[in-house]
Amino acid sequence: MANAQLHIVDCEYLKQIEGARRDLHDLLLNNKQFAPIVLRLAFHDAGTYDANAKTGGPNGSIRNELSNPPNNGIKNAIDFCEQVKTKHPKVTYADLYQLAGVVAVQVTGGPFIPFIPGRPDAPDQQDSGALPNPNGDGQHLRDIFYRMGLNDKDIVALSGAHSLGRAHQDRTPGFDGPFTEDPLKFDNSYFVELMKGDTPGLVKFPTDKVLLEDPAFRQFAELYAKDEKVFFADYAQSQKKLSELGFNAPR
Annotated catalytic residues are 44
Distance CA 99, CA 129 (A): 22
Kindly tell me which of 55 and 98 has the beta carbon lying closer to ligand HEM: 98
Of positions 161, 194, 221, 245, contacts ligand HEM by CB under 6 A: 161
Residue 159 interacting with ligand HEM (CB under 6 A): yes
How many other C-beta atoms can be found within 10 angstroms of the C-beta atom of residue 128?
12
Residue 162 interacting with ligand HEM (CB under 6 A): yes
Question: Which letter does DSSP use for residue 182 in this model?
Answer: -
Of positions 24, 99, 164, 221, contacts ligand HEM by CB under 6 A: 164
Q: Closest separation between CB of residue 201 and ligand HEM, Å?
A: 15
Residue 129 interacting with ligand HEM (CB under 6 A): no
Count of residues in the chain? 251
Strand ranges in the chain using DSSP code E only, listed in sequence order: 166-167, 177-178
Q: Which residues in the 83-122 window bind ligand HEM by CB under 6 A? A: none
Range list of H helices, 60-92: 75-87
Distance CA 167, CA 177 (A): 5
Strand ranges in 114-200 using DSSP code E only, listed in sequence order: 166-167, 177-178
Residue 16 interacting with ligand HEM (CB under 6 A): no
Instruction: List residues binding ligand HEM (CB under 6 A).
Output: 36-37, 39-40, 43, 73, 132, 134, 141, 158-159, 161-162, 164-168, 171-172, 205, 207, 239
